[in-house]
Amino acid sequence: MRLPVIPVKGDEKWELLSKIVDKLETRDTKKALARNGITPVNKAIKMLKVIILAMFFELEISYAVSEVNRRLELRKFLKIEEEVKLRSVYSFMAEFEADKFISFVFSILNANSKKRPNRLSILILDWTGISLDLNPFRKRDLKNKPYKWGYSTKGFFLGMKMMVLIDYRTLMPLFFHVYPANVHESRIYPLIWKCSRGRG
């Protein structure tokens, strides 16, 4: 039995997600989406909220959509007025190549970020698994696929991993990287170091 997805007041993870939802609703975010040709903007923001919810709690997209549609309090938290169609989320995700997705995410981050002070910062580094809605029992040739088998605290999954670098003081995401789930975190450290040096 899967646990219900219910916002918890005072929980740090839900508080951080609340800030992200607020950032997605800003005028600067809407301008950034429009500049990247992502329209209609309001629909794109709704799709992004569901995708980020799924990534935040390591949920399958289909389960995240069903919980949003089932729970009024979750829709209120995400500031989504009507139910979400699963097909619409998949169609939105299918529109982007990896480079385009990364480009507009950084555009959103830059639109909402404040200039960081010229002093030493504390950075938070975190990884999360991205489980795809794929039949794990089907034989697949994963040689040229961007997703692989991976392992998390919830067990084995078929998908990718995402590394996120966050500024401790502002909780502003500074950098993220999506890679196949079978790549060990230690192989991503040089990329993290390069990013932190470039932004520090």
Same domain, 107 and 190: no
Task: Express each pLDDT in 84-114 by its tens digit.
Answer: 999 999 888 888 776 677 677 767 766 666 5
The reply to whether 4 falls in a domain is no
Q: Which of 112, 145, 164 is the last residue of a domain?
A: 112
Same domain, 141 and 57: no
Same domain, 95 and 17: yes
Contacts of 5 (CB under 8 A, 6+ apart): 53, 57, 59, 64, 67, 68, 71, 74
Q: Which of 112, 134, 152 is the last residue of a domain?
A: 112
The reply to whether 20 falls in a domain is yes
User: Percentage of residues in the chain with pLDDT exceeding 70?
Assistant: 77
7 φψ region: left (φ > 0), alpha (ψ -120 to 50), beta (else): beta
Same domain, 53 and 106: yes
Strands 155-167 and 148-152 turn out to be antiparallel
Same domain, 101 and 128: no
Report pLDDT for 127. 73
The reply to whether 6 falls in a domain is no
Same domain, 108 and 39: yes
Q: Which of 92, 112, 132 is the last residue of a domain?
A: 112
Same domain, 107 and 127: no
The reply to whether 117 falls in a domain is no
Task: Express each pLDDT in 15-68 by its tens digit.
Answer: 888 988 998 898 888 888 888 788 889 999 999 999 889 888 888 889 999 999
**Contact indicator for 46, 86 with CB cutoff of 8 Å:** no
Domain of 154, in residue numbers: 123-199
State the total domains in the chain.
2
The reply to whether 3 falls in a domain is no
- Classify 190 as helix, strand or coil: helix
Gap between the Cα atoms of 191 and 168, Å rounded = 19
Task: Express each pLDDT in 158-182 by its tens digit.
Answer: 777 777 777 777 666 677 777 777 7
The reply to whether 1 falls in a domain is no
Same domain, 184 and 96: no
The reply to whether 93 falls in a domain is yes
The reply to whether 35 falls in a domain is yes
